[in-house]
C-alpha cells in the first residue's frame, strides 16, 4: 500500500502550477491555445469564400451540362448509324430481287410483253424502286460515266467507238448506295 501512496504523492507533484503571467492575465489562455480556436471571419472574407464556392459549383455544373450534351450527341450519332446499318442490310437483301426483276423485264418475249399481267410486274418493279428511293437508296449511275473504282467494279475492258477510254460502256449488274456508303458497286465493262 505504501507504494500506492507514494505514486499518488508523485502524481500530485506533477500537476503544474499556473505561472505568474497566467495569473496576472486573469487566467486567460496562452497564445498557442488561442491559435487553435477558429476566429470569426469578416464579411469580406465570407463573401470571397461564398464567391469561390459559387464559381466552383458553376464550373461543375457547366462541365456536367457539357458532358450531357456530348452524351446526347453521341447517342444520336449511334442511333443514326444503327439505322443506316440496318437499312443497308435490308437493301442488300432486296437487291437480288431487283436484279431478277431487271433481267425479267429486259428479256421478256414479245408475245408476253403485251399481256396485262406483265404490266403488273412492271408496277411491282416501280414500287420496289420507290421504296428504295424512300429510304435514300439510289442506283449508282454507270453507262457513260467515267470509271470510278469506289462505286464501279470493272469486269473487263472492251473496245468502244462510242465512249472514250476509261468510260463505262456496259452495266452487267446495277450498283446501289445510301448517301456516301456503297451497298454494292456496279459491275461494269470499261472502254479501252
- Domain residue extents for the chain: 138-192
> Got the DSSP string for 36-77?
HSPPPPPHHHHHHHHHHHHHHHHHHHHHHHHHHHHHHHHHHH
Residue 153, H or E segment:
strand 152-158
pLDDT in tens, 53-64: 999 999 999 999
Fold for domain 138-192? Nucleotide Exchange Factor Grpe; Chain A, domain 2 (2.30.22)
- b/e map 133-163, b = 16+ CB within 10 Å: eeeebeebebeebebeeebbeeeeeeebeeb
**Structure-block grid coordinates of residue 6:** 507514494
pLDDT in tens, 155-185: 999 998 899 999 999 999 999 999 889 999 9
Which of 42-51, 99-108, 141-150, 151-160 is predicted least confidently?
99-108
Kindly report the pTM of this predicted structure. Answer: 0.59
pLDDT in tens, 87-130: 999 999 999 988 888 888 888 888 887 788 888 888 888 898 89
pLDDT bin (cut points 50, 70, 90) of residue 141 is very high
pLDDT bin (cut points 50, 70, 90) of residue 37 is low
Which of 73-87, 102-116, 140-154 is predicted least confidently?
102-116
Distance, in Å, from the CA atom of 129 to the CA atom of 94, rounded to the nearest integer, reads 11
Burial bucket for residue 82 (CB in 10 Å: 0-12, 13-18, 19+) = exposed
Distance, in Å, from the CA atom of 139 to the CA atom of 113, rounded to the nearest integer, reads 25
Distance, in Å, from the CA atom of 177 to the CA atom of 152, rounded to the nearest integer, reads 11
Contact between residue 186 and residue 154 where contact means Cβ atoms under 8 Å apart: no
Burial bucket for residue 27 (CB in 10 Å: 0-12, 13-18, 19+) = exposed
Amino acid at each position: 500500500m505504501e507504494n500506492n501512496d507514494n505514486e499518488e504523492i508523485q502524481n500530485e507533484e506533477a500537476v503544474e502550477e499556473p505561472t505568474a503571467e497566467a495569473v496576472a492575465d486573469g487566467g486567460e489562455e496562452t497564445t498557442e491555445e488561442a491559435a487553435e480556436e477558429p476566429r470569426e471571419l469578416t464579411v469580406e472574407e465570407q463573401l470571397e469564400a461564398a464567391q469561390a464556392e459559387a464559381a466552383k459549383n458553376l464550373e461543375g455544373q457547366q462541365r456536367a451540362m457539357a458532358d450531357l450534351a456530348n452524351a446526347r450527341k453521341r447517342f444520336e450519332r449511334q442511333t443514326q448509324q444503327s439505322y443506316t446499318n440496318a437499312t443497308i442490310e435490308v437493301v442488300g437483301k432486296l437487291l437480288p430481287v431487283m436484279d431478277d426483276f431487271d433481267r425479267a423485264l429486259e428479256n421478256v418475249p414479245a408475245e408476253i410483253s403485251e399481256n396485262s399481267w406483265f404490266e403488273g410486274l412492271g408496277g411491282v418493279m416501280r414500287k420496289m424502286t420507290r421504296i428504295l428511293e424512300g429510304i435514300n437508296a439510289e442506283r449508282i449511275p454507270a453507262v457513260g460515266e467515267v470509271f470510278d473504282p469506289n462505286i464501279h467494279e470493272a469486269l473487263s475492258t472492251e473496245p468502244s467507238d462510242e465512249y472514250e477510254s476509261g468510260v463505262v460502256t456496259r452495266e452487267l449488274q446495277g450498283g446501289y448506295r445510301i448517301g456516301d456508303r456503297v451497298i454494292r458497286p456496279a459491275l461494269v465493262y470499261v472502254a479501252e
